[in-house]
Structure 1
């Protein structure tokens, strides 16, 4: 499948949002997923297998921090990167192999939330206050819940690309863990950044929902 065909199919599955017109971060994310997804598809790897692998990798993030202490922070950052790549690949494989299903879509969404929970648990194990970690997680999950409910009510699936989409949360997790590897107290700052971005993103999304659903 050529890139333009893939981008068109991806757009159809994401409420008409064209990745070719996205900012460089989102566009680059989708391009990488397309390239690696094509390689996996040629080897007949299924999308749900990729989703499961990504979730298991995510669960290794807090395990690394708990088992290896400071060195584990560096390893955890690497594992988050690997997990994030796997996360983008399941959808790519589904599109390229024409195996996108509603069940797979739900499973992928649940796996994403569980994976982010694992990253935030790693933040807590690294020293971030529990209340801050829980609040940050709740704020980002509320954004996804509101988007899902608004989509069910008639809004296009994405509505708006906020400042705290999945690629941004991945970067906060990676650089937060790396920063904590350099100096432990920085993990609290990373959790605070996660929360701040989630609050701004929530506001952006609520405004988009209001525009989309107000008669």
Structure 2
């Protein structure tokens, strides 16, 4: 399978969004997933196995933060990056090996939500306010729930690529844990403040993204 063939198949599975017309970073990220996923597909690796590995990596993020409040957030950031790669690679394995399925899409979505919950737990472990972590998780969950219900109600496309999408959450988790780890090298209070700031950014992006999506859904279903 060539990149163009993969992009066409990927677009059909993602509401018609063409990755070849995406930004440089998004296009580059998906090409990386394609390059890593194609050989795994040839080897017969099931895409669900990659999904499970990514979820297990996510589960380790709060554990490393709890184990070491200084170096833990930095290790957690590295794990978030690995989990983000796995999250893209499982889809590439499914598409390039012809194993894409509705049940696999469901498993992937559930794994994404559980993985994000683990990242949020890591920020709570690093000192962020619990209520802020809960709000961040609720807004992100609501974002995905609205899109799913709108699709059931008849919205045929993804609606809108908002600022609160999955890549934004990965970026906030990665950068937030990096800065939290850097702050932990100075004082624990600075680490907690940085973790809280990362949650504020998450909430703002998730809230604004939800408003963007609701506006598009309203027009599509009116």
For the criterion TM > 0.5, the same-fold answer is yes
Q: Secondary structure at the match of 2:68?
A: helix
| Structure 1 runs, 4 residues or longer, greater than 3 Å off | none
Q: 5 Å matches for 1:49-128?
A: 49-128=49-128
Q: Secondary structure at the match of 1:118?
A: helix
1:189 aligns with 2:197: yes
| Preserved CA contact (<8 Å) 1:61 1:122 | yes
Q: How many residues align?
A: 214
Deviation at 1:153, TM superposition (A): 1.1
Match in the other structure for 1:26 = 26
Q: Distance in 2 between matches of 1:135 and 1:11?
A: 31
Q: 5 Å matches for 1:139-178?
A: 139-178=139-178
Q: Distance in 2 between matches of 1:28 and 1:190?
A: 25
Q: 5 Å matches for 1:192-207?
A: 192-207=200-215
CA-atom RMSD in angstroms: 0.9
Give a deviation string over 1:130-177, Cα, whole Å, max 9, x none. Answer: 000000110011000000000111113421100121111111001100
Deviation at 1:44, TM superposition (A): 1.6
Match in the other structure for 1:14 = 14
| Preserved CA contact (<8 Å) 2:57 2:82 | yes
Deviation at 1:189, TM superposition (A): 0.4
Task: Give ranges in structure 1 of 5+ residues lacking alignment.
Answer: none
| Preserved CA contact (<8 Å) 1:147 1:157 | no
Deviation at 1:48, TM superposition (A): 0.4
Instruction: Normalising by structure 2, report the TM-score.
Output: 0.94
Task: Give ranges in structure 2 of 5+ residues lacking alignment.
Answer: 184-190
Q: Secondary structure at the match of 1:158?
A: coil
Match in the other structure for 2:45 = 45
